[in-house]
Amino acid sequence: MVDQKTSDERLYLALDLPNVGEAKSLVNKLGECIVSYKIGLQLLSIGGVELGQELKAMGKNVFYDFKFHDIGATVEKATRSVSALKADLLTVHARPEVMKSAVAGRGDSNLKILAVTVLTSLDNEALREIGYHQGAKELVMRRVNQALECGVDGVVASPLEASAIRNAVPKDFLIVTPGIRMPSDNLNDQKRVSTPGATLNLGASHLVIGRSITQAKDPRKAVLNIISDIAGG
């Protein structure tokens, strides 16, 4: 059994690395400290799907961050393909047609569909620049309501919206939050952020953390510090 003091399956490590070799090296280095992994666009087209299969064979949780956004028929077929991979989580954009199609495509598999609401790199000013009249929180909550209507299993949203979402959704609805930073971390391109423990206390079900671990001098120590922050709330 994995020591719960040194791992937490709610923590998904984003394997945003240049190649599969580096990703595998990090996975081996971290061992049982990390139970759950997210594979995003950087790796998906160069062996990331196959890496996910290897991680599943190791008993890990796998999150394919495809962010599907296409016509309904295409999304349905693509989701059906991903469901055959036995992955745990899949992202699609929070557009009603896309969400409904993904739900249809996953059928009776165990794949959980997450709707991406508003990227954590966007703030109210950035949303105005690209033509939205709503602020981030208002837009997120609108998409959460649409997600509930479409039958997806959860959403991806920033820590700043986690509490409002949790108060508006069923207990088993997933709230997956990127934009997680330790107090000493550089924010990089993230705008709407919080610490690991605080985010879970706000109502998030899962955390996605990448650079705080992948760019750390000692990734294993970084993971243990994050888990300590989670334990301390």
pLDDT at 47: 98
Nearest residue to 33 (alpha-carbon basis) of 58, 62, 63, 11: 11
| Beta-sheet pairing, 36-39 with 154-156 | unpaired
Give the relative orientation of helices 96-106 and 136-150 as an angle to the nearest 10 degrees. Answer: 40
pLDDT at 120: 72
End-to-end Cα, the chain, rounded Å: 24
Contact 173, 151 (CB under 8 A): no
Is the C-alpha dihedral spanning 84, 89, 91, 92 positive or negative? positive
58 three-class SS: coil
What the chain holds in terms of domains, given with CATH numbers, is: 11-232 (3.20.20.70)
pLDDT at 55: 98
Q: How many CA atoms lie within 13 A of 131 on its CB side?
A: 0
Total-model pTM: 0.90
* Known catalytic residue at 67: yes
Residues 99 and 147: their CA atoms lie apart, in Å, by: 7
Of these residues, 67, 86, 112, 191, which one is catalytic? Answer: 67
The conformation of residue 111, written as its DSSP 8-state character, comes to: P
Could you tell me the mean pLDDT of each successive run of 10 residues in the chain, 233 residues long?
Answer: 70 97 98 97 97 98 98 98 97 97 97 92 80 84 97 95 96 94 62 82 96 94 94 77
| Beta-sheet pairing, 206-209 with 112-116 | unpaired
Write phi, then psi, for 164 (nearest 5 degrees): -65, -40
pLDDT at 188: 56
Give the relative orientation of helices 219-232 and 20-30 as an angle to the nearest 10 degrees. Answer: 60
pLDDT at 144: 97
